[in-house]
Structure formats: structure tokens, C-alpha cells
Structure 1
């Protein structure tokens, strides 16, 4: 049922997800859906909980995959893992990154972004210090983390763009090397 709800959300927006639309799409009666969810609110919340947990796990996994002593390669590896996760489950990423963001997602997306920004700070701050000896790091850190977060979001949007033929393996070196160069310059 949640997979069906996700398909509806991607195709018509989260506002189109309700008991009737899920039942119709599955070819079942509403009582079948009601047997799992009390109402639209519980259905949409279950979908958002599942997909946000998956997105957060994939994003944090990508961040943790960026290891080693070579900053260029660490960034490339991190972007490759992130964009690979996007390629594996594009529908989940589409409800967050494509078109007009649904107001029902705003709080969930903001919380995921906050958690990822915190984890990114814990990974990136020591790297900036160790790899490049970034001066005045504490003052620059908020801007550098926002740059990183924005570049990750941009990479995901490019990956999801149907007019784009670049793959995760194409985009990872591009974004990884750009971010490494930007951080080196900081």
C-alpha cells in the first residue's frame, strides 16, 4: 500500500494520496486500505516516515562512505554513494526534490536536512582542518556546510532530471572534485 501511495505522490503530488486513490490504484475496496490505515493522515504519515527514514539512512550512509586520506577521492566516493542511492530508489527522492515541494513534506525535509547537516559538520570540520588547515574554520564552517548541503541537493536534482543523461558514475567525480576544490580554496 505504501508503494502505491508513493507512486501516486510522485505522479500527482502528496495531496492526491488518500484512502480512495490508493484503493483505486490497487484495484481493491476502501475497507481493504482502512484495514491498515485509520485515515488519510495515518496513511500519509506512514509513507513519509518510511521514505524519510530511507532517505536519511541512504544520505548518512553516503556521508560515512567518504573515507580515506585523499580528499578528492573521499568526496567522489561520497557523491557516488549518495547518487547511487538516488538511482536505486528515485521515486522516494522525487517526492522531495521534484516540482513544487508539498507542504506536508516541509517539516520532514527540514528535519532530515538538519540531521544531515549535523553529521556533515562532524565529518567535514576535521577534514578541513586535517587536509587543508583551513584558517578561521569556526567562522567559515556554517557557510561551508551550507555549500556542501546545497551541492548534494543540486547533484540529486541533476540525477533526477529526465532531460539529463549523466549517471551517478558521471556526476560523482564532477561534484566530488568541485567540492574538494572549493574546500581547498576555503
Structure 2
């Protein structure tokens, strides 16, 4: 008696073809995926293969957006540095010459709000030992410090601070470092048991910085 022949089933299902998007629309997705991988496993884990696998696309799709891993990392770092600079600028926005304590509190709260909104990006900048990341972070920090010095000098003079020229570099470093410390504190907290809220940490750091600068 003849047996029915069963249809063969392929051992591996064919890859589902990703919806076609042009390189311009793919690039932000590629960078977002690279950021996810970097935040989870470190920037060394960001490879073209890893990005393609996470996005469920083939490697040529990634290469259509960026020529290689180095280009992806440079674009990612540049993008996140831009967000970093914009967020730090919140501390410096609409500064008054005789800045009251609340101006500093508002600035640090705005900074920490930005960190809470994009924690993966800030982890990339603050938690990566990669030389490319740290070099770019250092250049961005220098720009922020220069802006702080430009704004703080007339404030110190309006307060009657003595020896402004000598004290200014020290006080700028204190101000910028306080912001970095606040960011690291927020990022290091356990999500299920935070010690600080954005509002409380911003208030505490803002008050501390203001009082230190005011009485220098």
C-alpha cells in the first residue's frame, strides 16, 4: 500500500525581510540600537553583526547607513555629546548676574531631569572606559567649563568676591564637578529603591554649589 508523502519542512525558516527604509531613516535606528548594546554590554560589544542581529536585519542594511563600526561609534558619540551639552546648558540658561540660590537649584534639577529621560546615553558618557568616548567627553567638558567661567566671573564680581582671577578656575571646576557627581549619584541608584529624587538631589546640590560659590 502506498504511503502518502509528507511535505518537507525546511530546517530553518527564511529570514523575514525587514521593511525597506532609506539610509536616512535607518541611521537613527542604528544609533539607538548601538546605544542599547553599549549600555548593556559596553561599547566594545557594539559591532555591525550585533546591531544587525538586534534589529533583525542583514549586515548590508547597516552598511547602507554607515560604512563600518568606527563610523557608527563616532556618530553615536557625537549625538550623545550633543544631548549632554544641551542638558548641561540648562544650568547656564538665563543666568542672572547676581544669581540667587534658586537659579542653581533649577539648573541642577533640569540637568538631572535630562539624565532621567536618557539614562543609557549618560551611562555611555560616564560609565565607558573607551578612549574614543572619554576623549570626546573631555572636549565637551572643556566647552562647558569655558561657558561656566564666562558666566561666573561677573557673578563673583557682583558678589564682591576677592581675588576673582585666582579663584575663578577653582570655582568653575567645583561647579562642573558637582554636576558630574550629581549625575553619577542618580545613575548609580537602584531603580527599585532610590535614595534621591531628581527634585531633592537637584535642590541639595544646587544649594551646596550656590553657598560654596557665594562665600568663596
Q: Are the aligned partners of 1:65 and 1:77 in contact in 2 as well (CA < 8 Å)?
A: no
Counterpart Cα distance in 1 of 2:38 and 2:96 = 35
After superposition, give the CA deviation of every residue in 1:123-157 in whole Å (9 maximum; x if it has no partner).
11111221x21100000111101111110100010
Equivalent residue runs for 1:7-46 within 5 Å: 7-46=36-75
After superposition, give the CA deviation of every residue in 1:92-116 in whole Å (9 maximum; x if it has no partner).
1111113x53222121101110000
Q: Are the aligned partners of 2:97 and 2:155 in contact in 1 as well (CA < 8 Å)?
A: no
Equivalent residue runs for 1:68-83 within 5 Å: 69-83=98-112
Q: Are the aligned partners of 1:66 and 1:77 in contact in 2 as well (CA < 8 Å)?
A: no
- Paired residue secondary structure (1:28): coil
Structure 2 unaligned regions, length at least 5:
1-29
Greater percentage in helix = 1
Largest Rg, 1 or 2:
2
Q: Are the aligned partners of 1:14 and 1:104 in contact in 2 as well (CA < 8 Å)?
A: no
Larger deviation: 44-53 or 155-164?
155-164
Map of 2:178 onto structure 1: 151
Asked if 1:111 corresponds to 2:124, the answer is no
**Shift in alpha-carbon separation, 1:67–1:166, aligned structure 2, 3 A:** farther
1:69, distance to aligned residue in structure 2 (A): 4.9
**Shift in alpha-carbon separation, 1:66–1:161, aligned structure 2, 3 A:** farther
Map of 1:175 onto structure 2: 205
Q: Are the aligned partners of 2:81 and 2:140 in contact in 1 as well (CA < 8 Å)?
A: yes
How many residue pairs align between the two structures?
184
1:185, distance to aligned residue in structure 2 (A): 2.1
TM-score, with structure 1 as normaliser: 0.93
1:33, distance to aligned residue in structure 2 (A): 0.6
1:61, distance to aligned residue in structure 2 (A): 2.9
1:66, distance to aligned residue in structure 2 (A): 4.6
Counterpart Cα distance in 2 of 1:33 and 1:70 = 48
Structure 1 unaligned regions, length at least 5:
none
RMSD: 1.5
